Amino acid sequence: MTTHSVSSRYVDNERLIALNASHAAFRRDLAKMARVATVANFRDPAHRRSILNGWAVFKNQLEQHHSHEDRFLWPSLRRNMAGSDAAMSVLDDMDAEHAIIDPLLRSVDYAFDHHDTADLPGVLDELNTKVSHHLTHEEQDAIPMIVEAIPEKEWKKIVSGITRASMSGAPEFMPWVTEGATDGEVKRVLSMLPPPARLIYRRVWVPRYRKVSRW
């Protein structure tokens, strides 16, 4: 797992550990989806189950990720960058791109639920294109603002808000975001957790997550 598009200036920023790791995990899953979620594989019941398992986690993580950005990051940047037309335009784009992706997730769900293999390749391809574009756009234009335009005190409040909102999802998020990551990347992501939770990650969350076949 590597981070693709974040400028080297921001790639090691402590504020971006979860965001960058999540973007890398979305790209990893999009690549798997493109390779594995084929019409032929979908016709095989065991493989279909595995594709749907992978899809369920991808969709949940993308929805959570967007919800945290919409609730905690973009409102703060809108306040702090209110005098900048360029910043408002980027944030309008972030809202618009999230709004385009939501119905695409529903379209993929529909194709999966109704075994609509005629539409499946088209909707998966469109989802891949739109999500990939959004990740890169966000990394290029919004990530610099996350680092530069939020004072530390406000950042701490944002982190505690996101932590409260996402705590119950950690058993899925942590093994998902670290799947396929290097030891160094895993260590960096685990640095977000208190030591007892790191132990639970290794002993409970990862083994439980890996019991299920995905993609």
Total interface residues for Fe ion by CB under 5 A? 2
* Cβ proximity to Fe ion, 62 vs 111, nearer residue: 62
CB 20 → Fe ion: shortest distance, Å? 9
What letter would DSSP give residue 195?
Answer: H
Indicate the residue among 69 and 179 with the shorter CB distance to Fe ion: 69
> Among 28-36, 67-75, 78-86, 175-183, which window interacts with Fe ion (CB under 5 A)?
67-75
Name the token pair of 38: 């084929």
Token pair belonging to 95:
């809202």
Q: Rounded to the nearest whole angstrom, what is the least distance from the CB of residue 122 to Fe ion in the complex?
A: 23
Instruction: Provide the mask over 92-111, with x wherever binding to Fe ion is found by CB under 5 A and - wherever it is not.
Output: --------------------
Nearer to Fe ion by Cβ, of 120 and 177: the residue is: 177
Helix residue ranges, H only, the chain:
17-36, 39-42, 45-68, 74-80, 85-113, 120-137, 143-148, 152-166, 170-178, 183-190, 195-200, 206-210
Smallest distance from Fe ion to CB 86, Å: 18
**Which residue stretch of 34-42, 68-76, 188-196, 202-210 sits at the interface with Fe ion (rule: CB under 5 A)?**
68-76
**Would you say 16 or 120 has its CB closer to Fe ion?**
16
**Could you tell me how many residues make up the chain?**
215
Minimum distance from residue 52 beta carbon to Fe ion (Å):
24
DSSP state, 16?
A: G
Nearer to Fe ion by Cβ, of 26 and 42: the residue is 26
Q: Using CA atoms, how far apart are residues 90 and 73, in angstroms rounded to an integer?
A: 13
127 touches 101 (CB < 8 A): yes
Angle at alpha carbon of residue 64, lines to 11 and 30, rounded to 5° = 65
Binding site for Fe ion (CB under 5 A): 69, 138
